[in-house]
Structure 1
Amino acid sequence: MKVYTDPIDAEAIPDGTFGGARFRSRNRGTTTRCWSPAEQRDHYNALAVAIGAPLRPDDGAAA
């Protein structure tokens, strides 16, 4: 969202850009690979172990 602001008050609406364009972390046209259900479950379980939360059960749908 681009809103005109006075240069002195560029951070009146704090968006971290100080009135400039937003930074793009990657080139346009690139995509991020989606995680498979097995990768999602493994990652969730690793995080759950770290914080002591219940693990996600293995539903047998692993490919």
Structure 2
Amino acid sequence: MTEREIQSRLSGYAGKIIEQAAELPLEDQERLLLIARGMAFTRNLMRTAPDGSAPSGKSA
């Protein structure tokens, strides 16, 4: 499976979670948003630039 296929599949899962989250209370929606941001931040930290430098701390 290519990187593009993996990202496409993950985007599909994220879309389903977001659609279903709309039915949750606002407090729970905020928690899901924090979790998603943390996951994106962690993913970016785990990736390294080709020159070996650390990526910026910005999340996607």
TM-score, scaled to structure 1: 0.28
Larger radius of gyration: 1
Which structure shows the higher helix fraction? 2
TM-score, scaled to structure 2: 0.29
